Amino acid sequence: MGSFGVYVHIPYCLQICTYCDFVKFEKKDLPPTDRYVSLLEHEIASRGPRVQQTIPSPIMHSLYFGGGTPSLLSPSEILSVIHALEKQGFQRASGAEVTLEVNPGTLTEASLDKFLEMGITRFSVGAQTFDERFLSVTGRKHSVADTVATLELLRDRGAHFSFDLLFGLPGQHLADVGSDVRRALEYGPKHLSAYCLTLPEKHRLNKGRAPDDEQAQMFDLICDDLAAGGLVRYEVSNFAVPGFESRHNLLYWSDAPYWGIGIGAHSYLPTAPWGVRFWNPPTVRSWELEMARTAGTAFWQEFEPSRVEPLQLHQAITDFTHTALRSTRGLIDTEVQRKFSAAFPDLLHEIERRALPLVRDGLLLRAEKPGRWLLSRAGHALADRVFEPLTFLKDEV
Ligand code: SF4
C-alpha cells in the first residue's frame, strides 16, 4: 500500500480499429502532438498541486503512457511530460515502473534507445494476433511482419515488454488462438494480457465468431499454454512471469490513488470520506476549456456531474471487493477490516454470508493465512456471476 500512479492518455492512432471503444482519434484529426504535449504540461502545472493535497505522497510508483498510440509521440515529447511531472514534485520512486504502449511498426532502433535512456522500463505491444486474416478484420494497419520486427527489436535490446493478445475474433478457432500464444511465447514476453473481443450485440464483427463455449475453451487454452511457458495468471486477463506483474494494474486493484491526465483519462483520489472518481472530457477542445475554468480549485468538483463520482460507503465497499477479487491476492480480511471496520463493523460477516453460496457453486475459494476470498478458475470465467451478489446497495450498509 501507499503507492501512487499517474496515467497519461495519448489519443493519437494510425487507424481507428473496428472494435475499439477507447478515447482515440486518427492523428490527422487532432492538433499537432507538440500542442497536445503543451496542454498536458499545463494540466500538470495547474492541477498537480491540488492532486498532491489529497494523496499521502506524490512519489510515483508507476507512470503509464497509454492510448491511443503513445509511441506516435517522439521520445523528446514523452520526456517533456516526465519533466513537467518532476518539476511539480511527482518524482519516480526508485525502481518505478514506467510503461509506454507501442503499436507494431512505430518503434525504431533509434527511438527505442532513446526511450530506454529516459527510463521507460516496460513496453506494452498492441499486437493482438499473428494472423494476417484476423488483423485485417480488426482494421489495424500494421502487418504481422511489423509485429515480428517490433518484438525482435525489443528482445534484442533486452527490453521488458508485455504482449496484448485479442481472441474471439470472427472466424478464429481454438487452433488459431493456440498458434498465437505459441508465437508470442517465442519472443519471451514477461507479461501478457489476453482479452476476449467484447462488442455491443448488433456489432457487425459478431458475425462468424466462435460460440461462447468455444471462447471459454480458448481462454482455458491460453491459461494452460502460458502457465507451461512460465507466465502465471495474476488477474482475470493478465499473466506474468512472477516478479513482472504490472504495478500499474496492481494499483487499480489495490485501492491505490492514481491521477489520469489528458483527454478521457480517469482518476481516483482518496478524498474524504470514501474517495472520488472523475474523468476528463473526451475532446481536446472541451478539455482545454475546462482546464481554463477550473485552475487552482478542487477542479473535479467543477466537472459536469456525469464525469465525477464521489463514492458513498456502499460504492466504496463494492469497488474494493470487486477489484480485490480480480487479482490473485484476493479479498483479504485484514484489509477489509482496516478500511471499513469503523463504518461497517459487521462487514466481514456480511461478505461471508454472500460468499458461501459462491463457494458451494465452485466459483469462489476460501484460503487462510491470511484469511481471504479468491476467484476459482471457474469464477475467473464467470466473474460477473460472482460480483453480482457482492455488490452492495445503498440501503444495505
Ligand atoms: S490503435 Fe488501439 S486505441 Fe487506437 S483505435 Fe486501435 S485499438 Fe483503439
pTM of the model: 0.95
Considering the domain architecture, whether residues 110 and 207 belong to the same structural domain is answered as yes
Predicted confidence (pLDDT) per residue in 69-113, tens digit: 999 999 999 999 999 999 999 999 999 999 999 999 999 999 999
Considering the domain architecture, whether residues 17 and 96 belong to the same structural domain is answered as yes
Query: How far away, in angstroms, is 327 Cα from ligand 1 center?
Result: 25
Report the pLDDT value the prediction gives residue 296, as an integer from 0 to 100.
61
Beta-carbon contacts of residue 252 (< 8 Å; ≥ 6 apart): 258, 323
* Ligand 1 atom nearest to 15, measured from its CA: 5
Considering the domain architecture, whether residues 138 and 214 belong to the same structural domain is answered as yes
Q: Please identify, among 225, 251, 277, the residue that sits at the C-terminal boundary of a domain.
A: 251
pLDDT confidence tier of residue 199, bands split at 50, 70 and 90: confident
Measured in degrees and rounded to the nearest 5, phi and psi for residue 321 equal -65, -50
- Residue 52 counted as domain residue: yes
Q: State how many domains the chain has.
A: 2
Identify the burial level of 256 via C-beta atoms within 10 angstroms of its C-beta, where 0-12 means exposed, 13-18 middle and 19 or more buried: buried
- Residue 20 counted as domain residue: yes
Considering the domain architecture, whether residues 233 and 135 belong to the same structural domain is answered as yes
Q: Report the alpha-carbon distance of residue 76 to residue 229 in Å, rounded.
A: 36
Kindly state the percentage of the chain with pLDDT values over 70.
99
Report the pLDDT value the prediction gives residue 314, as an integer from 0 to 100.
98
Rounded to an integer, the average pLDDT of 228-254 is 94
Query: How far away, in angstroms, is 222 Cα from ligand 1 center?
Result: 23
Q: Report the alpha-carbon distance of residue 370 to residue 348 in Å, rounded.
A: 14
Considering the domain architecture, whether residues 245 and 318 belong to the same structural domain is answered as no
Q: Is residue 235 over pLDDT 70?
A: yes
Query: How far away, in angstroms, is 240 Cα from ligand 1 center?
Result: 23
Report the pLDDT value the prediction gives residue 201, as an integer from 0 to 100.
83
Report the pLDDT value the prediction gives residue 29, as an integer from 0 to 100.
87
Higher pLDDT, 212 or 191: 191
- Residue 269 counted as domain residue: no
Report the relative pairing of strands 331-332 and 308-310 from DSSP bridges. Answer: unpaired
Residues with C-beta less than 6 Å from any ligand 1 atom: 13, 16-17, 20, 22, 24, 67-69, 103, 126
- Residue 256 counted as domain residue: no
Q: 381's torsion region: left (phi>0), alpha (psi -120 to 50) or beta?
A: alpha
Rounded to an integer, the average pLDDT of 264-283 is 96
- Residue 299 counted as domain residue: no
pLDDT confidence tier of residue 18, bands split at 50, 70 and 90: confident
Rounded to an integer, the average pLDDT of 146-156 is 97
Query: How far away, in angstroms, is 357 Cα from ligand 1 center?
Result: 40
Q: Please identify, among 199, 226, 251, the residue that sits at the C-terminal boundary of a domain.
A: 251
Residue found under cell 487452433: 175
Considering the domain architecture, whether residues 353 and 242 belong to the same structural domain is answered as no
Bridge partners, residue 381, by sequence = none
Q: Report the alpha-carbon distance of residue 304 to residue 382 in Å, rounded.
A: 34
Q: Please identify, among 215, 235, 251, the residue that sits at the C-terminal boundary of a domain.
A: 251
Considering the domain architecture, whether residues 111 and 201 belong to the same structural domain is answered as yes
Q: Is residue 381 over pLDDT 90?
A: no
CATH of the domain at 60: 3.20.20.70
Question: Which residue among 10, 16, 150 is best mutated to probe the pocket of ligand 1, counting the most ligand atoms within 8 A of its Cβ?
Answer: 16
Considering the domain architecture, whether residues 245 and 334 belong to the same structural domain is answered as no
Rounded to an integer, the average pLDDT of 333-361 is 97
Predicted confidence (pLDDT) per residue in 47-62, tens digit: 999 999 999 999 999 9
Q: Report the alpha-carbon distance of residue 205 to residue 196 in Å, rounded.
A: 13
* CA-CA-CA-CA dihedral for 364, 240, 320, 212, to nearest 10: -50
Question: Which residue among 9, 19, 22, 199 is best mutated to probe the pocket of ligand 1, counting the most ligand atoms within 8 A of its Cβ?
Answer: 22
Considering the domain architecture, whether residues 247 and 332 belong to the same structural domain is answered as no
Query: How far away, in angstroms, is 365 Cα from ligand 1 center?
Result: 36
* Ligand 1 atom nearest to 140, measured from its CA: 6
Considering the domain architecture, whether residues 112 and 209 belong to the same structural domain is answered as yes
* Ligand 1 atom nearest to 20, measured from its CA: 8
Rounded to an integer, the average pLDDT of 249-277 is 95
Rounded to an integer, the average pLDDT of 222-237 is 95
- Residue 265 counted as domain residue: no
Report the pLDDT value the prediction gives residue 65, as an integer from 0 to 100.
98
- Residue 263 counted as domain residue: no
Rounded to an integer, the average pLDDT of 265-291 is 95
Residue-range definition of the domain harbouring residue 333: 313-396
Q: Is residue 1 over pLDDT 90?
A: no
Asked if residues 34 and 65 have their Cβ atoms less than 8 Å apart, the reply is no
The residue contributing the CA closest to ligand 1 atom 6 is 17
The residue contributing the CA closest to ligand 1 atom 3 is 68
Query: How far away, in angstroms, is 320 Cα from ligand 1 center?
Result: 29
CATH of the domain at 388: 1.10.10.920
Report the pLDDT value the prediction gives residue 204, as an integer from 0 to 100.
87
Mean pLDDT of the chain: 94
Higher pLDDT, 355 or 25: 355
Report the pLDDT value the prediction gives residue 366, as an integer from 0 to 100.
97
Predicted confidence (pLDDT) per residue in 298-317, tens digit: 899 999 999 999 999 999 99
Query: How far away, in angstroms, is 56 Cα from ligand 1 center?
Result: 34
- Residue 262 counted as domain residue: no
Query: How far away, in angstroms, is 352 Cα from ligand 1 center?
Result: 41
Rounded to an integer, the average pLDDT of 332-360 is 97
Considering the domain architecture, whether residues 245 and 360 belong to the same structural domain is answered as no
pLDDT confidence tier of residue 295, bands split at 50, 70 and 90: low
